[in-house]
Amino acid sequence: MSANTYPTTVPDSAAAPDPHGSEPSRRDFFVIATGAAAVVAVAGLAWPFIDQMNPDASALALASIDVDISAMEPGQSITVMWRGKPVFIRYRTPEEVDAAKNTPLSDLKDPIARNDNLESNAPATDENRAAPGREEFLVMVGICTHLGCVPMGEAGDYNGWFCPCHGSVYDTAGRIRHGPAPENMLIPTTAFSDDNTITIG
């Protein structure tokens, strides 16, 4: 009697389903849906924290500030905060004004005034750096244009400002003369609202 023979392969119709097939399973759908819901939930929780970073009304009110300079005398400086930045106000002596006026533009590292009250290409003469109509006053953002340090006043080779971080030297008009700083210190929008009050911003 001959031995019975059996097929050694399983028909395709009886093969186990491929868990990695191209058709998405219900489990895949639930994983994707759960992930999407989690993303939406995290975004909803994060929004109040992001929104609170926007400036409130009190911060926007500080877009401009008034500074009383009635007590200042020639040779004095004060520093005020405006939009989170220090602003130097210098009541310059006649000698400081003359030194700045007598500096040829060809001696300047940055020939542009960097004055928000003027055209962007205005030359860096002392007249274009001083407060409008009050040349004895210099108002500028007290941040070195190299890496953002705060320079020291009445210092350096020109008795203007000196940044000890990397040695940038500014003259009595706040113009960069030596060192790595690429630009003159910024003159913000400035106006005298009366004889004793400077409005910044």
Active site residues: 166
Task: Read off the tokens for 165.
Answer: 């971080």
DSSP state of 168: E
Which residues does 133 contact at the CB level (< 8 Å), separation at least 6?
Answer: 192
Give the whole-angstrom CA distance, residue 124 versus residue 110: 8
Burial of residue 54 (number of CB atoms within 10 Å: 0-12, 13-18, 19+): exposed
How distant, in Å, are the alpha carbons of 146, 184, 191 from that of 64? 25, 22, 11
